[in-house]
Amino acid sequence: MQEDHVFNGDGREAPELIVRGLTKRFGGVTAVDDVGFRLPGGQALAVVGPNGAGKSTLLKLLAGAHTPTSGSIEFGGRRLERASARQVVRAGIALAHQIPRPFTGLTVWENVAIGAGARGRAAEEHIAAVIAECGLQDKMRRRAENLRLLDLKRLELARALSTRPRCILLDEVAAGLSGRELDEVIALIARISATGCGLVLVEHVEGVVQSLVDRVIVMDWGRIIAEGTPAQIAADATVRQVYLGDGARPRTAARETPPARSGPPLLRLEGVDLAYGDIPALRGVDLEVWPGEVVAVLGANGAGKSSLAAAISGAERVRSGSVRFGADDVTALPAYRRARRGIAHCPEGRRVFPALSVEENLKLALPLRMPAKEVAGRLEDVYAVFPALAEMRARRGGALSGGQQQMLAIGRALIGRPRLVVLDEISLGLAPVVIDGLYEAIEAIRSEGIAVVVVEQNVHRCLAVADRAYVLDRGVVSYAGDPAPLSDPRLLERLYFGSPREEALSP
Amino acid sequence: MSAAVVLNGILLGGLYGMSAMGLSLVFGVLRLVNMAHGAMLVLGAYLAVLITAGTPLPLPVAGACAVLLAGGLGYVLQRHLLTAMLVRGANGPLVATFGLSLIASGLVALRFGSDPVSIPTALGTAGWSLWGLDVRAAYAVSFALAGVVAVALHLTLSRTRLGAAVRAAAADPRTADLIGIDVRTLYALVFAVASALAALAGLLVGVAFSVSPQSGTSYLLIAMAVVVLGGIGNVLGTFAGAILLGVVQTLAAAQFGGGYRDLVVYILFFVVLAVLPRGLFGRRLT
């Protein structure tokens, strides 16, 4: 075996990655089915497709984290389908995970140094270069658990780069980023690609795919259903149907009848301060929501969007200020009592109970005393909005795909017939076609007269349905009002980060 | 002879199962190692003694009162002391329950002295013949009660909406709170049920053997071994683990002498932890 043979990645042409007939079965489920492609040295390939299509499994097969059931992986003439993860890394393939998992308790430097392996001056220079390349030089001595999302993503890339890869596999590195942060990560990946390192990326964020790769393969149910340049794929009818959906088209339709904002607001936040320990998350936030309107809450990562959602639902207690719902001051009420009064919060990350069935998950949000007949009726109401859930009512929450879990989480918020629903990052990590379905559901919710607060990174989707919008910048409301002007990326950028910038924001 | 030993072991296991049920429930739902579980068991027995001595109530009624009192005490402890600590981490309530167990056994010793006490009843000394084998009536009653309780708890947790709420509150209390579940009350309810079951076990121990202010510790250890055997939060597993422990212990005592009773518990505890850290039947509840 060539275990001792270390590719050092300097100055040599990157090898070609050839995948043939790759198949992976888990029990009766074929997650990856006869997948094959060639990636010439130094080129970039994107793998897209709906949730559960097998994209992450494909990357794990390439990285040696899973062993394929059949098929072959060849990299620079070396067969890797039976290699362990460590051998794959040594052969020059590195994986950056979707959810960064650095070693907590270790500093950024130490995290990168582990991947770099060898000691000595040359290794130290390499580590320093990787850290600088990823823009972490100011945070080298910081512990990994104290990093914010963008820096965690940078560290995940740095850890992958530290092994001197000739081909790097990126699993949804842009998930959860927006605006300037997204641009920065795209620029970083572009720099890596420019060094001649091969690139395979799994990605939902369309801008990332468009700007970075030469070729795209589209997967569905474990198989490749289309292959081509980004432009070809964007025009492919099958791909539109299973993956991109209508949301990829520029939006034209606006809201026909804005709701009359007469009478008192349903929800009113006044001067709300919220903090985690010494770290302020919201400062003096005022917000009003009238019955039947959709209010968008936008902002960069860490701007306080989810904290605002938590202040509304009572998941977090406010430090000062007041929260009024209807005629009552609910500032002192815990979340469960606000939920019973009609404030539903669909939390970020779905938070479905994985061990409970779909039906049990839904019923949890109903009072225990509710008669069985009424419970059955409420379930049918939810299944009418999300027919997919009806088919899997007995399935465990943990066995659902991401999109189905999100439907379940929204259904669980709706089943109690709330007067206000807070939807926190419902499109995160989901395929565009799935997001289309969720936003259609928002329209259905609004038509019932329920007020909706939509907290989103996905600016354009969100603005398309919003009657009014708020933008948060570091815990302070930087904009409140008509959503239309926010379609201008330069204005949005200024509101997100408080300072003007020359470049336009990529959509 | 040997069949009688096994049968008595199985029935003794029922008593152990009753002793462990509450610990298993609290461990599974609240993620709390309740060090006061043994003390609550002992307290249940002494409460029954106190009530029968001080009132004209017959023993079954006095026992029911003791069980209800223990449940109420558990509710108050969880609602007003332990949950607030649990929010900040599992160590606080662990130490707190240990402290509570010291206070409880101190108070019991102060009132009753440290000599063992048994609850005098015909059931304690009666023996029955089952399939031609001699068994102690107290064991048989404990076994039947423990079986009923285990099945009832299991069905409640797995089939009812209340049970689903308990499982949800155990898995993710924050989200449970968000969707309208009163997590603190639910936790208090779980702790109350666990305390009542501990007291019921204490009653049965008091009838079958005897209790002293110090015996809480040994029943806590037996209960822990049973919970580890059966899988945390798995009430049917707890019952099955208890039966296994009862049989192994009785066989060992018959083979090597009574002195090896406790040693067997510890060895089994150790081996299961080392070889099957998830217990014989795995985790069921969450």
Determine the pLDDT at residue B283. Answer: 54
Q: Do B180 and A360 touch (CB under 8 A)?
A: no
| Residues contacting residue B31 through CB under 8 Å, at least 6 positions apart | B86, B90, B170
Considering the domain architecture, whether residues A215 and A295 belong to the same structural domain is answered as: no
Q: Do A368 and B168 touch (CB under 8 A)?
A: no
For residue A337, pLDDT over 60 is answered with yes
Distances (CA, A) of A33 to A16, A18, A54, A124: 22, 16, 9, 42
The verdict on a CB contact (< 8 Å) between A364 and B164 is yes
The pair of structure tokens assigned to A92 is: 């020059």
Residue A478 in any domain: the answer is: yes
A36 with A137, same domain: the answer is yes
If you average pLDDT over residues A120-146, what whole number do you get?
86
Give B187 to chain A, closest Cα distance, Å.
14
Give the count of Cβ contacts less than 8 A between chain A and B: 64
In a domain, A506, yes or no: no
Backbone angles phi, psi at B166, to 5 degrees: -65, -45
Res A320 pLDDT > 80 = yes
> Could you tell me which residue, A91 or A173, shows the higher pLDDT?
A91
Contacts of A401 (CB under 8 A, 6+ apart): A51, A52
Q: How far is the C-alpha of A256 from the C-alpha of B115, rounded, in Å?
A: 84
Confidence band for A500, pLDDT divided at 50, 70 and 90: very low
Statement to judge: residues A421 and A356 lie in one domain:
yes
Q: Are B42 and B211 in contact (CB under 8 A)?
A: yes
Nearest to B49 by CA among B126, B118, B142, B145: B118
Q: How close A359 gets to chain B, by Cα (Å)?
A: 10
Cβ pair B183, B177 in contact under 8 A: yes
Are residue A358 and residue A460 in the same domain, yes or no? Answer: yes
Could you say which residues from 292 to 351 on chain A have a Cβ atom under 8 Å away from some Cβ of chain B? Answer: 313, 315, 334-337, 339-340, 344-345, 347, 351
CB contact under 8 A, B180 and A351: no
How far, in Å, CA of B281 to CA of B228, rounded? Answer: 10
**Inside any domain, residue A186:** yes
Is residue A222 very low, low, confident or very high in pLDDT (cuts 50, 70, 90)? Answer: confident
CB A429 within 8 A of CB A217: no
Q: Would you say A226 and A233 are in contact if contact means Cβ atoms under 8 Å apart?
A: yes
CA A213 to chain centre: 20
Q: What are phi and psi of A414, to 5 degrees?
A: -85, -25
Please name the residue of chain B whose CA is at the shortest distance from the CA of residue A339.
B180
Cα-Cα end-to-end distance for chain B = 42
Under the phi-then-psi rule, with left for phi > 0, alpha for psi from -120 to 50, and beta for the rest, what region is B184?
alpha
Contact B175 A351 (CB under 8 A): yes
Both structure tokens of A141: 């001595």
Say whether residue B188 is in contact with chain A using an 8 A CB cutoff.
Answer: no
Please report residues of B whose CB lies closer than 8 A to that of A315: 174, 177-178
Round the average pLDDT of chain A to a whole number and report it.
Answer: 85
Question: CB-CB: which of A337, A355, A365 is closest to B179?
Answer: A365
Our count of domains for chain A comes to 2
Residue A126 lies inside a defined structural domain of this protein: yes
pLDDT of residue A277: 81
Q: Rounded CA gap, A463 and A476, in Å?
A: 20
Count other Cβ atoms within 10 Å, centred on residue A384. Answer: 10
pLDDT at A102: 84
Residue range A450-480, pLDDT digits in tens: 999 999 877 888 888 999 999 998 899 999 9
Which domains are present in chain B? Answer: 3-275 (1.10.3470)
A361 alpha carbon, distance to own chain's centre = 23
Give yes or no: residues A307 and A184 share one domain: no
- The model's pTM is 0.76
Q: What is the pLDDT of residue A116?
A: 74
Taking a contact as any Cβ pair under 8 Å apart, which residues of chain B between 22 and 41 contact chain A? none
Residues A253-308 have pLDDT tens digits of 445 556 667 788 999 999 999 998 878 899 999 999 999 899 999 987 778 999 99
DSSP-derived pairing of the beta strands A294-299 and A451-455: parallel
What pLDDT is recorded for position A498? 65
Residue B180 and residue A315: Cβ atoms within 8 Å? no
One-letter amino acid at A358 equals V
**Residue in A334, A339, A355 closest to B179 by CB:** A339
A74 torsion bin: left (phi>0), alpha (psi -120 to 50), beta (else) = beta
Let me know whether A313 and A227 are in one domain: no
Q: What is the DSSP letter of A291?
A: T
Same domain, A310 and A275: yes
Pick the last residue of a domain from A244, A278, A293: A244
Interchain contact A372–B (C-beta under 8 A) = no
Q: Which residue has the higher pLDDT, A10 or A104?
A: A104
Tell me the C-alpha to C-alpha distance, in Å, between residue A123 and each of A108, A130, A160.
Answer: 15, 11, 15
Q: Which of A244, A275, A293 is the last residue of a domain?
A: A244
Same domain, A289 and A431: yes
Residues A427 and A390 in one domain: yes
How much is the pLDDT for B243?
A: 94
pLDDT, tens digit, for every residue of A164-201? 899 999 988 877 776 778 888 888 888 888 888 999 99
List, in sequence order, the alpha helices (H) in chain B: 2-30, 37-54, 59-77, 83-86, 91-112, 122-125, 137-159, 161-171, 173-178, 183-208, 215-230, 235-256, 261-275
The verdict on residue A465 lying in a domain is yes
Tell whether the model's pLDDT for residue A72 goes beyond 60. yes
Residue after which a domain boundary falls, among A244, A275, A306? A244
This model of the complex carries an ipTM of 0.85
Nearest CA in chain B to A351: B175
A415 touches chain B (CB under 8 A): no
Domain membership flag for residue A250: no
At A296, list the tokens.
Answer: 């968008």
Alpha-carbon distance of A148 to B9, in angstroms, equals 58
| A contacts of B174 (beta carbons < 8 Å) | 315, 351
Per-residue pLDDT in tens (0 to 9) along chain B, 286 residues: 588 889 989 999 999 999 999 999 999 888 889 999 999 999 999 999 999 989 999 999 999 999 999 999 999 999 999 988 888 888 889 999 999 999 999 999 999 998 898 888 888 788 888 777 888 888 899 999 999 999 999 999 999 999 999 999 988 999 999 999 999 999 999 999 999 999 999 999 999 999 999 999 999 999 999 998 888 778 899 999 999 999 999 999 888 888 888 888 888 888 888 888 777 776 544 4
Residues of the domain holding A416: 267-497
A327 and A192 within one domain: no
Separation of first and last alpha carbons in chain A = 48
Distance from CA of B168 to the nearest CA of A (A): 7
pLDDT value at A361 more than 80: yes
Tell me which residue of A473, A466, A483 sits closest to A180, measured CA to CA. A473
The answer on A200 and A107 residing in a single domain is yes
Predicted pLDDT of residue A12: 58
CB contact under 8 A, B180 and A336: yes
Domain assignment present for A504: no
Q: Is the Cβ of B178 closer than 8 Å to some Cβ of chain A?
A: yes
Neighbours of A448 (CB within 10 A): 11
On whether residue A257 sits in a domain, the answer given is no
d(CA A219, CA A224): 4
- Per-residue pLDDT, A471: 93
Same domain, A240 and A284: no
What's the CATH number where A176 sits? 3.40.50.300
